[in-house]
A and B are shown apart, each in its own frame.
Chain A
């Protein structure tokens, strides 16, 4: 960089800096999570995180949000895998420059845009979720909203990216020397029409992912996700979505996923909520292949399955018995979609059924103060040993306690 360019950058910085440091804000957050899983072995995980954030207006009507964290993670296990300590992980979880243009076309139109690292999610959160590096634009015009995304996921920590689209991704994940996620880029577009029919919204999104890695397999995928969402009277909300996935890993393949949600909310009854959900992801069976999203997530809280080759039908209830305390409990029945072993593994060789087992969980969250919270949750997964898992397969127990403080 020559002297003139340096001087220009310095002058621009000096000119702009007072404009946005005058009203900047910052903070620190500390969180601690202790969790355990007991099945055949005892596994415990201790995770501590210190997170610093900075937020400020930026020239040209933009806004800068920046946050990074230090993470400690230690695991202890009675299994052969033993214990592991990751004593230091420094990373950026948000670096976003965002802006807004109001009244762009009409006085009811708004264009919002952002670039950098920020959370990205599709409607269901089952195709992509969590942080991504890239750009996002959203144009609201009357009751309709149009959105576009583009980004790269190869600079994310692999545990955050949770990319498991092919065997190269699996190798990357199991390689202890590899920090970053597989090199994959994505684009997405979406349109949502609010109150299209009464209180019901409708929309659709199209996502595409390109494998930029140098591995042995090139897996490119496209996802089409139409959805409906709305209210039924004052007390009920509902949503339904489906995802059609098409891809190529040398051969063309197709996969599907779908989900529904119906929720009863009675705010005057201690904030009571009763939610019924169904989510399904195809497995490799006939014309379909196992559903492979950009970011794989768990399907339950106590069971070991991820959202692929699975059907989950569940119900949970939550309420707030006293101010600042909320409690929840729920359960779900889990089935495999195909005749293949599901992601959790451990099925016996002659397993013929679909029913994998029953999951039950409960939890409570206490807001000690506006800046301090305590959360506790526990759950169990009872495997179906009558015709799926070997007799004697133990119940899987989980428990987690977390605390956080913002200063």
Chain B
């Protein structure tokens, strides 16, 4: 049942914002226990219109680096932490963040901001790995938040 909800959510995202992302990518992502920086780059950059939909994960990660949003020293195959994923989401969708984030726009305060916005739900830590289902859920909630802000 839970899987069906996620697939439905992913399908909704696909239809609304990431129409050209392959079904294979979404299927693969949902099966991933720890998403990588490459997968995050592709998912977030395409969903935020920062990347063409025909790109691949390697190209997406290059774009993330060129935008200056990639964690320093990170590689495309590295598993992403919740804090790092939060930072990518904050920057890709142009979220303003709290008082501390406006002074120090780093991963720590990005994580705090998304926890405050309920994009991150339940007990978690900034260093936690992100599985594919969680990544899709968080992206969906980002759409809710940015839709409310605009």
Contacts and interface: CB of A to CB of B under 8 A. Distances in A.
B97 interface: yes
A25 B99 contact: no
A289 to B, nearest CB: 43
B125 A372 contact: no
Nearest to A368: B99
Contacts of A25: 125-127
A24 B116 CA distance: 18
A405 interface: yes
Interface size class of A (residues with CB under 8 A): 10 to 19
Interface in B85-126: 97-102, 112-113, 116-117, 123, 125-126
A407 B108 CA distance: 10
B107 to A, nearest CB: 12
Interface of A is mostly: strand
A25 B126 CA distance: 7
B78 interface: no
Given A370-B112, A370-B113, A370-B117, A24 B127 contact: yes
Nearest to B111: A25
B99 A56 contact: no
A24 B99 contact: no
Contacts of B144: none
Contact of A372 (B99, B113, B126): B99
Contact of A371 (B116, B126, B127): B116
B127 A407 contact: no
Contacts of A371: 98-101, 112, 116
B44 to A, nearest CB: 21
B49 interface: no
Given A370-B116, A370-B117, A23 B125 contact: yes
Contacts of B113: 370
A371 to B, nearest CB: 4
12 contacts: A22-B127, A24-B125, A24-B127, A25-B125, A25-B126, A25-B127, A55-B125, A369-B97, A369-B102, A371-B101, A372-B99, A406-B100
5 tightest CB-CB pairs across the interface, nearest first? A23-B127, A370-B116, A370-B98, A23-B125, A371-B98
